[in-house]
Amino acid sequence: MVSIVPVIAIDGPSGAGKGTVSQLVASRLGWHLLDSGALYRLVVQAAKNHAIALDNIEALETLAAHLDVQFNVVDECTPVQVLLEGEDVTTTIRSEETGNEASRIAAQPGVRAALLERQRAFRAPPGLVADGRDMGTVVFPDAAVKIFLTASAGERARRRYKQLKEKCPNVIFSDLLDEIAERDKRDTERSVAPLRPAGDAVTIDTTELSVEQVVQEVMSVCNQRLGG
């Protein structure tokens, strides 16, 4: 019998805590981690490095198909180090600007298609925790566990505000809230692989929960579904 490498798909809107939770779950299980949003952000960064306009879709598709990228896991509390063409872009690709641009290019079917097999290649024993928007619906429809993490837009903007305020005192809360609403709308309404829970996903609203509480809930769903 062929044994299939199990996948835990964790989808949801920007700022719902997917990144932190996915990293902790992967680390506790000793599984691999896919941050699929980073790949869309990296296409934007690669385009900037090579002076390619973000409306040059054909060139973006070629970039996406040939991204020279490396993810280095440090520990469960440190963001995964991301190297693009050998250069450390871990912090650069996390900007609001890059996130918004990533959301824009992610609406292009050709860019999504170019990244599909690359995402699937992360599936390796003993298992994969995959974080994104379409992990449970398109990339890994056979995932053993599908989680949809959500939180109110206000709470997601508050979390982002807290993070950014330390580095950038001029950040304006209402601007963040507007950007989150705009990104939700774009990611939810696009025609290919729109953000939505898979039919068999368990939705967890994290508005009132701590990170540890969310991780516990996810682990408990995993234990039920994986029979651990």
- Residues lying near ligand DC in the complex (CB under 6 A) are found at 14, 36-37, 40-41, 99, 102-103, 106, 132-134, 183, 187
CB closer to ligand DC, 18 vs 215:
18
Helices (H), 34-78: 36-49, 57-65
Closest approach, Cβ 40 to ligand DC, in A, equals 4
CB of 183 to ligand DC, least distance (A): 5
CA distance 64 to 156: 29
Q: How far is the CB of 106 from ligand DC (least distance, A)?
A: 3
Bridge partner residues of 149 (DSSP)? 204
Please identify, using beta-carbon distances, which residue of 31 and 40 lies nearer to ligand DC. Answer: 40
Give Cβ neighbours of residue 53 (< 8 Å, ≥ 6 apart).
47, 59
Q: How far is the CB of 222 from ligand DC (least distance, A)?
A: 20
Nearest to 163 by CA among 15, 43, 2, 45: 15
Inter-residue contact 138 to 1 (CB < 8 Å)? no
Considering the complex, what minimum distance in angstroms separates the CB of residue 187 from ligand DC? Answer: 5
In whole angstroms, give the CA distance from residue 34 to residue 9: 10
Least Å distance, CB 2 to ligand DC, is 26
Cβ-based nearer residue to ligand DC, 6 or 99: 99
Give the residue closest to ligand DC by C-beta. 37
Residue with tokens 């959500």: 150
Q: Are 134 and 140 in contact (CB under 8 A)?
A: no
Nearer to ligand DC, 154 or 220 (CB): 154
Cβ closest to ligand DC, residue 31 vs residue 156: 156
- What's the longest Cα–Cα distance across the chain? 58
Given the complex with ligand DC, which of 61 and 187 has the nearer CB atom?
187
Residues 149 and 134: their CA atoms lie apart, in Å, by 12
Residue 146, helix vs strand vs coil: strand
